[in-house]
Structure 1
Amino acid sequence: MSHELIFFGSFALFIVLMLALDLGVFHKKDKPVSFKQAAIMSAIWVSFAIGFYLFLKTEGQELHNIKDQAHLEQVVKDHQHNISVTSANFQENLNRYTDNLSLEFITGYVIEYALSVDNIFVMVLIFSAFGVNEKYYHRVLFWGILGAVVMRFLFIFLGATLISQFGWILYVFGAFLIYSGLMMFLSKEGNDEIDPENHKVVKFISKFLPVYPEYVGNKFFHRVNAKLYVTPLFLVLIVIEFTDVIFAVDSIPAIFAVTKDPYIVFFSNIFAILGLRSMFFLLVNVIHKFHYLKTGLAALLVFIGIKMLAHHWLKDWGFTTTHSLFIILGILTVSVVASLAFPKKEVK
């Protein structure tokens, strides 16, 4: 078994244990998640991400088991890291590599975490449209995000394979991100209503599975006279899964603009979406106040798309991951500050 698979397996085991602890200990009973609980859980998940960043910064060579200069140069070449490791001092090169690796991780994490906010907008609409009881939000989000982890794994490593085989696909990703950003910027408010009965996912599921007409507590399935039905809560879960797939089409290519190492793309992606549940409960009642954030996210996608299209020129100009991180943080900070400084006028 390769060293990467052992590293990846250890990471996956850690995630499984944390999710089991979350559902089996901290949320055994269905009840609304308070702002305090959400703040604590958000802080914990962000702390894990920062801890992983520090681990990569000091021990990042363990990911690919780099032991010598030749292997280091090969890894940098294979994953197209924007650094030079040609110094005569191997340890100096290794430090440069781990510094860059950790920076790629945290930049990808910030991108995914920011784009997750738009996902929260849609989740709020879904729960509201389907009339889901607030105390069942956590259960739906838990299983939804567990499914998202599996889907992201497939998307990321498929994307990495395509990039390694067809380098030109980066330009396709870049053009798509610019298009997505412009569409997000041009989209008008009020077009986000969700019709549960006519939703495409609901119609598709209803063709193949019998749907029980009402909620049955926290159950996704309900048996009546030996016949098994899916409940409306199951439909909500599938709609949220489908929504995450749509968002992944934007967010995963965006992180590939920062790093071509699929493991780093996966780690940054997973840490962000695992913190999505707690961020949902943290922002659900105040997210409407950040009305310029969607504009900021649109600008973020356009910037990342341009970076993908111009990556060769930017590399020649000395544009680094650090520059990307500063620009990304700047875009997000401006959008948040603008939202607070110029609050949206309420329609009377």
Structure 2
Amino acid sequence: MLGNVNKWQKFVIKRFIKWPKKDISVRKSLSGITTELSCERKRTELDLDVKLPMAEDMGEAKNTKALFFVHIPKTAGTSFRKAAEEYFSFESVCYDYSLDSAETSDLVRKFIYEEKDYLGLNTALSETEILFISGHVPAKKYVHLLGASQLVTFLRDPVQRVLSEYNHFLRHKNYEGDLPSFYRKPQFINRHSKMLHGLPIEALGFIGLTEDYDVSLSQLNALFGTAFQRRKLNQGREAKDKAYEVPDDQLKEMQELNAVDIALYQKVVELYKQRYALFVKGLPYVHGTIQQLNSKVIKGWAWYAQGERAVTIEVLVDDKKVADLVANDLCPGLLHLSPPRNGYIGFHYRFSKPLGAGVNVSVRVSETEQVLGQQEVVVV
């Protein structure tokens, strides 16, 4: 049972949006995958009279650790961090927007930029009851201190994100170059991937989509027991329902330059769809993946988005279950992420006999049948 439904739970299921047709056409040119998500949403909207669980309703303690928001430029991050500032209060947030930024908090300026003392910052954060850290910083900068489960970010269609940043530079930074001169600069290419580099995408606490901001916010609130409200800030156009449009040759070049980001975005959308499907059913989400697969053994890791209980998984070979496992092995290679259960989140299984090339192996969560990974065996 999910327990009693409070007013906020009833509220979060009402904040669903429809994506505009013009926006979809540009995103479809990148991957086709976002359009599919929109179609699924349209069908699901007919069945939104559901009870969505928050952390305390699932028998888990309400989140008390600080959230770490990786603010990727032009992904609705300003709106989100201002909503967090309103919710937690200004005294409970901490910002890192570079040494020269006036927005960077004194704690960060002192311990990170002057003393280079991360442990000192961690102690100071605890003593000052900071509940939210945000900045244009790479995810690996603070993930060890706060944990991958506390990391939040938003991704946006990579080409649309570049175009939005270009317009931001035109309006606010007196940029005088044309569009190609901007998007060819290395610092604006594959921004998502660079800021999330070094972390398994499946391990990040929550990744929302700018194009589906309202629903992302609802899921995030349910996950962390917060009540962030939607804010409209830093909007570059009067009509936000219109996608940026560019000549085909420039669009193609931006796609090629940002191929890594486009692949990442496609993967994130798939994970988002999976998480959303569980969310509307009131089922728990599991972070996990297959790390290694060969003809003899399979290894991976898994943990619940909420709580510390071990995940029970099933291993399937060509859709036939061959093993039930508990993900409770120590994963030394993930300790830099400060994962739940002190890193005891791994699983491994040795097949009874070697598998042949091309055999399909998948791993799913026993409780929900959420698929964590599916690969074909490659024999070298």
Question: Quick check: TM above 0.5?
Answer: no
More helix by share: 1
TM-score (norm 1): 0.27
TM-score (norm 2): 0.25
Q: Tell me which of the two structures has the higher relative contact order, counting C-alpha pairs closer than 8 angstroms and 6 or more residues apart.
A: 1
More strand by share: 2
